[in-house]
Amino acid sequence: MSVEVKNAIKQFGAFTALDRVSLKVESGELVALLGPSGSGKTTLLRMIAGLEFPDNPQESQILFYGEDVTTIPASERKAGFAFQHYALFRHMSVFENIAFGLRVRPKTTRPPEKEIRARVEKLLRLIQMEPLGPRFPSQLSGGQRQRVALARALAVEPKVLLLDEPFGALDAKVRKDLRRWLRQLHDEIHVTTLFVTHDQEEALEVADRVAILRAGRIEQIGTPDEIYDRPASSFVYDFLGNVNLFSGRIKDDSVVIGETAFALTEKSGAEDTDAVAFVRPHDIRVTRSASGQSTLPARVVRCHAAGPLANLELERLDGGGWFTVQLSREQFHELQPRTGETVYVELKTVKVFAESLPINYSI
Amino acid sequence: MLPGFNLSLGFTLFYLGLIVLIPLSAVFWKTSTLSWSQFWDTVTMPTALASYRLTFGTSFLAALANAFFGLIVAWVLVRYEFFGKRIVDAMVDLPFALPTAVAGITLATLYAQSGWIGRFLTPLGIHAANSQLGIFVALTFIGLPFIVRTVQPVLEDLEPELEEAATSLGANRWQVFWRVILPMLAPALLTGFALAFARALGEYGSVIFIAGNIPMKTQITPVIIMAELDMFDYAKATAIAVVMLVSSFVLLLGINILQWWTNRYNTTNLA
Amino acid sequence: MTPAATTFHPPREPRRQLNTEPVWVRRLLISLALSFLAFFLFLPLAFVFTQAFAKGIGFYFKSLTDPLTWSAIKLTLLATGIAVPLNCVFGVAAAWAIAKFDFRGKNLLLTLIDLPFSISPVIAGLIYVLVFGAQGWLGLYVNAEHPWFPWLAHWLDEQNFKVIFAVPGIVLATIFVTVPFVARELIPLMQAQGRNEEEAARVLGASGWQTFFRVTLPNIKWALIYGVILCNARAMGEFGAVSVVSGKIRGQTNTIPLHIEALYDDYNFTGAFAVASLLAFLALITLGLKTWVEYQNARQDETEISS
């Protein structure tokens, strides 16, 4: 176990940022902390770094490789932290930024100048910015700045690397490249890494495991497959991607929506109650004719087919509202739906959660 | 395109020309009535030389004192909470708002032998009135807001992340201050210093009462100009004014270069 | 912006001041700063008022109602009354040209506007003596044997037209030293605001003056007021420049600061401080107004962000 947080509480005035959070991270893992803004993910990261302290120091603990660091200040915790807006020192060159953590060490543990140079050069190679050492941060692009921030955090050979929204301030294109680069870098150097993000795609693509936070609690933690395929709550399900909501009623192992019963993939545990069924847009099949009895009639409101996937917006004929369907290009060309016509939809995978809450948060 | 360009720029230039530039050019006209040796003899006469030493020396020391205390005042106003902070913050501008003559007679009386402060200094053998120390006190008073008001906004805008980054990299508080905060404040501090210095060089009203204006000892350069004017020797007065003008311009140039240097970190030139 | 009911706004997480100094360092710095300010600001200010009332309230009002004091007050108000509106118009015009248009030499113009700040007040007075004094351009013109417009020279001579050691010189010197105040407050603000709103107004059919009065002026209101306050304070308190051109004729060419000097030189210290207390009071009002304007400005910014 390389990083462990136990039972941490943090409040800012009336706002609860962390509500008894516990988290375990294995050595060498790359873990994403995913959640909407205000869910406490950055606070958790800052607490691990020692930039915040828990409100309940008696009950809570933070351990690095089994060593209790709860009361150790940030300057002695040896956690590498990269800030969302990089926080590079404007008055220092790239080289000096990276060397900073080594230069501020007390004389007894400070490496000799030659070794500092060698280490910075090595890091510059690692971030593929060897010739840019003498530049100032203002002369770099956003992606380059982020890499310098990473190198600076790595220079002190941290026990854990903590990244706050590492790609948050970048363009979509640079973001994707850097994401891949981070994954590669991690496979190369294998330092335990936690990063904060509000982008589910990023978390699912990059991380070994993803922790989903909501209102100061960890809602679910698991591998990307686990949380995508077996979400623990409606919140997780909704947060991980687009979703259609159908209100219906649970009967036996199926859910009745309008007139039609659809089989549930897992037992809901509830019996004969009102429920909300969750269906992903790509888990819906659309046909021209009511083939079986498990179809719902709907009218095509709008189709747009630009890009690799086509989106249909449909309106239920029984007045149950609108929903979205995603089709592949081939499926779309096969079907050739026209606005206004009636089609029949089959819900392939339906999820029902025991909580009876209509979700209306927005991210 | 918005209207009013010709009108506004025309008026601006006309007004500046009439009020500032044409009258200022009279200085060069008057100087040209002197021969080079006359000019040189005037600006290097012993009382003038002594006054330059005094004016530049005390102005420099006062600006230095202000840089030190001004930084502390700005720091305390930005970083800490204490009773009466808002009033103190507003009062920092008092030297801007208080007429120099009022400051002058007040400081002179305060530091006189029997004054509130002077009576405690005299037994110690310190004489502030009619001395260089008095001039230093007056110039410190005048220059205080320059440092505080240039450093304060920069200090306010310093992102807390920079200090957190330094801390998480293992720097202690003292290292954070010396290696991160102070270098970021340095340009503002230098600008404030130069502004306070420039203001002190030309200061008249607040100094003359406390200085006593003893030739060769406590006579600042503006007082020399004034003395020549009182003797209706306008050419001599102008010659010494030229020396002061040139030094102010050099200083102004220095401040501009300093500001350019400050922006060096902030210019984005992606290669 | 979306109404609060539909969007979840987490309260902004206040930052704990992690990076702060030990208590003893904080206390030390606060006391150092406060004692410095007490010594250099509060003590002198308090001193002005105690000295003013040193001989009782009767003497205080006697000093203030003295005819010489009154004439000094009237002259100061006259000079300020001319200088402030003129520099206000100048400031607005200069800021409009500099902030709303691009032209070559803008930086030079900015430097020229700041010039009076970097010139010693004594030199400011001196240059007007060189232009309008008896040995200056005006004197040379009037006394020239063959002036360009003989009738004008003759007329000026007959009128005994005087600038130096007279009221016009005082007004001019006051204008000179206060030229940059309003412009300096307006230019950075108007540059930051850009010209989008004015262009929008023009597209919607507003005339130039309508654009200025309905769009620009409301946006720069507080900065303008602030500039006027500072300009006013400096105009009333100017000493060095005025002292060169005034000639210091009591009851005629003495402004308030010159009158204070005269009383002080006569060893009438209490009288000098009584009159000085007027200007100190003005300084306090200036600081109060300044704080208030800054507060208003901050409030305006806040409502703009939250609405």
Does residue A359 carry a pLDDT above 70? no
Check CB contact of C180 with chain B, cutoff 8 Å. Answer: no
**Would you give the DSSP letter of residue B2?**
-
Average pLDDT over residues C4-24: 50
Average pLDDT over residues C166-179: 94
Pick among A15, A55, A83, A196 to test the C interface (most C CBs inside 10 A)? A15
CATH number at residue B51: 1.10.3720.10
Between residues B54 and B257, which one has the greater pLDDT? B54
Indicate if the alpha-carbon torsion angle A3, A8, A12, A16 is positive or negative.
positive
* Whether A50 and B168 lie within 8 Å, measured CB to CB: yes
Q: ipTM of the assembly?
A: 0.90
Q: For residue range B164-193, what is the model confidence (pLDDT) as tens digits? A: 999 999 898 899 999 999 999 998 999 999
Between residues C124 and A272, which one has the greater pLDDT? C124
Q: Can you read off the two tokens belonging to residue A62?
A: 């933070």
Q: For residue range B215-250, what is the model confidence (pLDDT) as tens digits? A: 899 999 999 999 999 998 999 999 999 999 999 889
Percent of chain A with pLDDT over 70: 94
Task: For residues C46 and C153, state if they share a domain.
Answer: no
pTM for this model (two decimals): 0.84
Does residue A363 carry a pLDDT above 80? no
Check CB contact of B164 with chain A, cutoff 8 Å. Answer: yes
Instruction: Identify whether C171 is part of a domain.
Output: yes
The pLDDT value recorded for residue B125 is 87
**pLDDT tier at C136, thresholds 50, 70, 90:** confident
Distance from C-alpha of B163 to C-alpha of B170, rounded to nearest angstrom:
11
Percent of chain C with pLDDT over 70: 92
Task: For residues C214 and C275, state if they share a domain.
Answer: yes
Q: Can you read off the two tokens belonging to residue A112?
A: 């000799």
Average pLDDT over residues C88-95: 96
Does residue A288 carry a pLDDT above 60? yes
Average pLDDT over residues A23-47: 93
Check CB contact of B55 with chain C, cutoff 8 Å. Answer: no
Cβ-nearest to A15 among C6, C7, C11? C11
Amino acid identity at C80: T
Instruction: Identify whether B19 is part of a domain.
Output: no
* Whether C93 and B12 lie within 8 Å, measured CB to CB: yes
Contact between A166 and A148 (Cβ < 8 Å): no
Q: For residue range A167-212, what is the model confidence (pLDDT) as tens digits? A: 887 888 888 888 888 999 899 888 999 999 988 889 999 999 999 9
Task: For residues C216 and C281, state if they share a domain.
Answer: yes
**pLDDT tier at C161, thresholds 50, 70, 90:** confident
Task: For residues C233 and C91, state if they share a domain.
Answer: yes
Q: Integer distance in angstroms from the first to the last C-alpha of chain B?
A: 34
The pLDDT value recorded for residue B151 is 94
Task: For residues C259 and C131, state if they share a domain.
Answer: yes
Residues in chain A: 363
β-strand partners of A211:
A33, A221
The pLDDT value recorded for residue C13 is 38
The pLDDT value recorded for residue C251 is 85
Does residue A309 carry a pLDDT above 90? no
Instruction: Identify whether B11 is part of a domain.
Output: no
* Whether C18 and A13 lie within 8 Å, measured CB to CB: no
Task: For residues C62 and C45, state if they share a domain.
Answer: no
The pLDDT value recorded for residue C11 is 37
Does residue C3 carry a pLDDT above 50? no
* Whether C8 and A38 lie within 8 Å, measured CB to CB: yes
CATH number at residue C189: 1.10.3720.10
Does residue C99 carry a pLDDT above 60? yes
Q: Can you read off the two tokens belonging to residue B247?
A: 């030094």
Does residue A225 carry a pLDDT above 50? yes
Instruction: Identify whether C17 is part of a domain.
Output: no
User: Among A255, A260, A229, which Cα is nearest to A356's?
Assistant: A255
Among A45-54, A113-122, B27-36, C146-155, the minimum mean pLDDT is found in C146-155
**pLDDT tier at A63, thresholds 50, 70, 90:** very high
For A64, residues 6+ apart whose C-beta sits below 8 A from its C-beta are: A2, A3, A77, A78, A79, A159, A160
C8 Cα distance to chain centroid: 48
**pLDDT tier at A295, thresholds 50, 70, 90:** confident
DSSP letters of A44-94?
Answer: HHHHHHTSS--S-TTT-EEEETTEE-TT--HHHH-EEEE-TT----TTS-H
Q: For residue range A322-339, what is the model confidence (pLDDT) as tens digits? A: 889 988 888 888 888 888
DSSP letters of A265-321?
Answer: SS--S--S-EEEEEE-GGGEEEESS--SSS-EEEEEEEEE--SSEEEEEEEETTS--
Average pLDDT over residues C95-122: 91
- Structural domain harbouring C93: 56-306
Average pLDDT over residues C34-48: 93
* Whether C11 and A38 lie within 8 Å, measured CB to CB: yes
Instruction: Identify whether C3 is part of a domain.
Output: no
Q: Could you give the number of structural domains in chain B?
A: 1
Distance from C-alpha of A107 to C-alpha of A273, rounded to nearest angstrom:
70
Residues B69, B74, B77: CA angle, nearest 5 degrees: 125
**Residue numbers in A near B174 (CB within 8 A):** none
C128 Cα distance to chain centroid: 20
Average pLDDT over residues C273-282: 95
Q: Could you give the number of structural domains in chain C?
A: 2
Indicate if the alpha-carbon torsion angle C129, C133, C135, C141 is positive or negative.
positive
CA distances from B235 to A125, B32, B220, B246, B248 (A): 68, 9, 19, 16, 20
**pLDDT tier at C12, thresholds 50, 70, 90:** very low
Task: For residues C33 and C148, state if they share a domain.
Answer: no
Q: How far is C159 from chain B (nearest CA, A)?
A: 23
**Residue numbers in B near A76 (CB within 8 A):** 170
Distance from C-alpha of C303 to C-alpha of C307, rounded to nearest angstrom:
6
A and B: number of Cβ contacts within 8 A: 85
The pLDDT value recorded for residue B271 is 36
Instruction: Identify whether B152 is part of a domain.
Output: yes
Among B6-15, B248-257, B261-270, C35-44, the minimum mean pLDDT is found in B261-270
**Average per-residue pLDDT for chain A:** 87
β-strand partners of A4:
A24, A63
Pick among B168, B180, B185, B266 to test the A interface (most A CBs inside 10 A)? B168
Choose one of C12, C37, C52: the last residue of a domain.
C52
Average pLDDT over residues A28-49: 93
The pLDDT value recorded for residue A332 is 86
Task: For residues C109 and C167, state if they share a domain.
Answer: yes
